Amino acid sequence: MHRSGAIMAWNVFKFCTALRSLGSVMILLVLGVIGVTYYAVVITNYAPSLTDSPTFSSILIALLVLLLFHCLLVMLLWSYFAVVCTDPGGVPVNWRPLADEERGENDPLTDLGELQIVGADSSGNPRIRYCRKCNQLKPPRCHHCSVCGRCILKMDHHCVWVVNCVGALNYKFFLLFLFYTFLETTLVALSLLPHFIAFFSDGEIPGTPGTLATTFLAFVLNLAFALSVMGFLIMHISLVSGNTTTIEAYEKKTSPKWRYDLGRKKNFEQLKAQLFEYQSKRCATTCVLNSGFGI
Q: Average pLDDT of 43-49?
A: 88
Q: Average pLDDT of 163-179?
A: 92
Q: Average pLDDT of 100-128?
A: 44
Q: What mean pLDDT is reported for the chain? A: 76
The pLDDT assigned to 21 comes to 62
pLDDT of 139 over the 60 cut: yes
Q: How confident is the model at residue 165 (pLDDT cuts 50, 70, 90)?
A: very high
pLDDT of 95 over the 70 cut: yes
The pLDDT assigned to 126 comes to 53
Is there a catalytic annotation at residue 16? no
The percentage of the chain sitting over the pLDDT mark of 70, rounded to a whole number, equals 69
pLDDT of 273 over the 70 cut: no
Largest CA-CA distance found in the chain, in angstroms, rounded: 83
pLDDT of 57 over the 90 cut: no
Q: How confident is the model at residue 284 (pLDDT cuts 50, 70, 90)?
A: low
CA distances from 49 to 34, 41, 198, 263 (A): 21, 11, 17, 49
Catalytic pick from 142, 145, 159, 287?
159
The pLDDT assigned to 234 comes to 94
Question: 219 exposed, middle or buried (CB, 10 Å; 0-12, 13-18, 19+)?
Answer: buried
**Per-residue pLDDT reduced to its tens digit, 181-192:** 999 999 999 999
- The pTM (predicted TM-score) of the whole model is 0.79
Q: Average pLDDT of 9-29?
A: 61
Q: Average pLDDT of 30-39?
A: 94
pLDDT of 107 over the 70 cut: no
- The 3-class SS string of 89-158 reads CECCCCCCCCCCCCCCCCCCCCCHHHHHCCCECCCCCECCEEECCCCEEECCCEEEECCCCEEEECCCEE
